Amino acid sequence: MLISYEDLTLGYEFPPTSYELSPSLVFRYLKAVDSVGDGFVPPLAIAARAMTAMTGVLSLPPGTIHASQDFEFCKLVPIGAVVSCQAKVVRKLARGSMRMLVLELNIFDQSKEKVQSGKATIILPA
Amino acid sequence: MLVEICQGETLPPVVKHITQEKINLYAEASGDFNPIHIDESFAAQTPLGGTIAHGMLILAYVSEMMAQAFGENWAANGKFSVRFKMPVRPGDTVTATGKIDSIKEENGISYVGCRLECHNQKDEVIITGEAVVKLPYGQGGTSGSR
């Protein structure tokens, strides 16, 4: 079931997800971004999957804008690793015709070590 | 990788031409099938007037530039903060640029700060931001570079 902006509360935690960074996933990502690999999973390939898992459960109206993005990468991730993603709402703001969400995500490997963290700011039309 | 890391040094840019095919490939690779990116008839009816590239696709080019400059240190010890200033459309050419604007040393680690910017073919700014990469002291010539 999709979650609407109205249903989200500050501190809302998205259902945790985990996924394998398989060789085929990494290959498809590198082809899509027109790049060559270095033997590890590109950090933004991990982030992209996590962002999709997070926003995929949101009902975002047309005109939603990805306004800003922060990431911090903590360790190299080998191809084939399985990572888990936790995400929550850390800011929710409605002002005039603007509605804004700040989503925080943290990604861990199988040994529970943090792989990366990030914050996405999304602006939704009223 | 950069041979020597000096304040004021410009990072080798990454230039990419954006096509709808690339956007579609990115949608498949990332799992982000938002119609604003891939459905031309839907996107035409929105205020944007047409499809736009995923912001994360353009960030991938920034990340590629940083990885080329700093090697594995970027994926292991990098961080960045960016703002999306305008959308990127099929047919645009994106140039990711960066410049080292600070080098600080602390406890055997060099913190290399970079100013980031992406432009389109009209020299309009698409993305602005900052990045920091942690390097072992002395790597890339940072010890004597300021």
Instruction: For residue range B66-76, list pLDDT tens digits in order.
Output: 999 999 999 99
Scanning the structure block, which residue is given the tokens 């109205």?
Answer: A6
For residue B59, the 8-state DSSP code is H
Task: Write out the H or E segment, with its range, that includes residue A52.
Answer: helix A43-55
Instruction: For residue range A71-97, list pLDDT tens digits in order.
Output: 999 999 999 999 999 999 999 999 887
- Specify the pTM: 0.93
The whole-angstrom distance between A8's CA and the closest CA on chain B is 20
CB-based contact (8 Å) between B47 and chain A?
Answer: yes
Residue A86, both tokens: 């936790």
B22 — phi, psi (to 5°)? -65, -40
User: Do B31 and A52 make contact, defined as CB atoms within 8 angstroms?
Assistant: yes
Q: What is the pLDDT of residue B140?
A: 63
Q: What is the pLDDT of residue B146?
A: 40
Task: Give the domain ranges of chain B.
Answer: 14-18+53-144
Please report, rounded to a whole number, the percentage of residues in chain B having pLDDT higher than 70: 95
CA distance B81 to B15: 20
Scanning the structure block, which residue is given the tokens 């041979």?
Answer: B3
- Terminal CA-CA length for chain B: 19
Reply yes or no on domain B14-18+53-144 having CATH 3.40.50.300.
no
Q: What is the pLDDT of residue B145?
A: 43
The alpha carbon dihedral of B39, B124, B116, A95 has a sign of negative
CA distance A45 to A80: 13
Q: What is the pLDDT of residue A55?
A: 80
User: Do B25 and A28 make contact, defined as CB atoms within 8 angstroms?
Assistant: yes
Q: Which residue of A has its CA nearest to B25?
A: A32
More confident residue, B87 or A65: B87
What superfamily in CATH does domain A17-125 come from?
Hotdog Thioesterase (3.10.129.10)
> Please, which pLDDT band fits residue B141 given cuts at 50, 70 and 90?
low
User: Do B76 and A28 make contact, defined as CB atoms within 8 angstroms?
Assistant: no
Which residues from chain A sit within 8 angstroms of residue B34, using beta carbons?
60
